[in-house]
Chain A
Amino acid sequence: DSGVTQTPKHLITATGQRVTLRCSPRSGDLSVYWYQQSLDQGLQFLIQYYNGEERAKGNILERFSAQQFPDLHSELNLSSLELGDSALYFCASSLGQGKSYEQYFGPGTRLTVT
């Protein structure tokens, strides 16, 4: 158990809908990262927040947005869902914001868009 929690574990929804994925980082960690894992794209970095502020952005679609709240939990919002958004979404956390800090991953949320 990494100490990072993600809810829900599974999510099934229809195209065009909007969903929210939630992540709670390990106690004491200030950075939260979101990654998408799919069969065709592999593990892709989406976005990073540090202490409530966006710090780095990857290949995140405009339909996707995220935020980190004062209690440091984070939410990833996916809207206008398409079949291709079906994937495993991971949240990770680290103590700091730099590249030297190891990231600890949650169990993931499996999103299925039908």
Chain B
Amino acid sequence: AQSVTQPDIHITVSEGASLELRCNYSYGATPYLFWYVQSPGQGLQLLLKYFSGDTLVQGIKGFEAEFKRSQSSFNLRKPSVHWSDAAEYFCAVGARETSGSRLTFGEGTQLTVNP
């Protein structure tokens, strides 16, 4: 069965600092990987996705993620964090289920941004 691990429950960074959120996945076939962000009281917004091809993918809001098959990782990065980036971030793997599909999510990483 597929699984996703986000080792950091909570990360605090200063505004303007760089950010890296870790994600490790376990999936037997070709992984389809996603990062979502959830602001307080909001739904999940898709930041970026990896299906195949270039292992460095660009997303919205200045985020990027790098797929490393050898490490089973899909870490999210941002060069300079803004106060509005404070939110919870979820990594997910898309998995086939009989005739459909599902997303399996990690536990999430809560990001706090200090002024």
Contact = CB atoms under 8 A, between A and B. Distances in A.
Q: Do A and B come from one complex?
A: yes
A55 B99 contact: yes
Interface residues of B, number: 26
State which size class the interface on A falls in: 20 to 34
Contacts, number: 74
B107 interface: yes
Contacts of B49: 102
Nearest to B99: A55
A11 to B, nearest CB: 15
Given A55-B99, A100-B32, A106 B105 contact: no
Contacts of A28: none
Contact of B44 (A31, A58, A105): A105
Contacts of A64: none
30 contacts: A2-B45, A31-B100, A33-B102, A42-B105, A43-B105, A43-B108, A45-B103, A48-B97, A48-B101, A50-B99, A55-B101, A56-B97, A56-B99, A57-B97, A90-B43, A97-B101, A98-B96, A98-B100, A98-B101, A99-B94, A99-B101, A100-B32, A100-B51, A100-B94, A101-B94, A102-B49, A103-B34, A105-B43, A105-B46, A106-B43
